[in-house]
Amino acid sequence: MANVYVFLGPPGAGKGTLGELFCRDSGAIHVSTGQLLRDEMAQGSDLGLQVKDLIARGALVSDDIVAAMVAKRLSQPDIKAHGVLLDGFPRTVPQAEMLSTILAKSGDVMAAVLLIEADDAMLMGRLTSRRMCPNKQCEAIYNVQTNPPRQEGICDRCGAALIQRSDDSEETARGRLKVYDEQTRPLVDYYQGKGQLVRMHSGDVAVDVNYGRLKAALKR
């Protein structure tokens, strides 16, 4: 039986950085649906071939396929031994219901759904200050305000020159926050209704301060 954690929060709230710290300290395995898609395609599995065909045709990967990949990953021994932090799933109420069915069958437990909240002004500052490692084997994310690299413009992990994504403009950032609110609000209400939601506020403070808030929230 594994403990399953889901972190929700707007872009720029620090989910990635806080999730990395959480997995480091708790031993939970970080599982990204994007990485699952890439892994299944690389392995040439039945699911991977379906995904590859859909992408080649410009079609969206269905919830059923994503749920099947998540269920497959949750069945593996490292997850059973250490627990898991899901990244990118669920994003909608139907996906949350699918996850509930998966956990009922696997015997795993939803330990907590953490909602990381933050002020819009701070989110805008973070989103437009973000820098990313372009190395596909790394893809580390930094923020020049709150989580800068040790050497300006250079990735701490692999030494690649950092880039600013084209979609990190102020206009695009506002659009992303609007879409997040519209899509995620029903999901927040869903988990609130099930008594599984806990909240924390991510402030414009040092990462270790926000991480302390996260640990306190998960103990409630």
Catalytic machinery residues: 15, 91, 130, 165, 176
User: Which tokens in the block code for residue 7?
Assistant: 């972190």
Beta carbons within 8 Å of 118's beta carbon, 6+ residues apart? 9, 10, 12, 13, 14, 201, 202, 203
Query: C-alpha angle 177/181/184, rounded to 5°?
Result: 125
CB distance 168 to 127 below 8 Å: yes
What count of Cα atoms within 13 Å lies in the side-chain half-sphere of residue 56? Answer: 7
Return left, alpha or beta for 12; rule: phi > 0 is left, psi -120 to 50 is alpha, else beta. left
CA 207 to chain CA mean position, Å = 17
Write the DSSP string, 12-78: TSSHHHHHHHHHHHH-PEEEEHHHHHHHHHHHT-HHHHHHHHHHHTTPPPPHHHHHHHHHHHHTSHH
CA 49 to CA 43: how far, in whole Å? 9
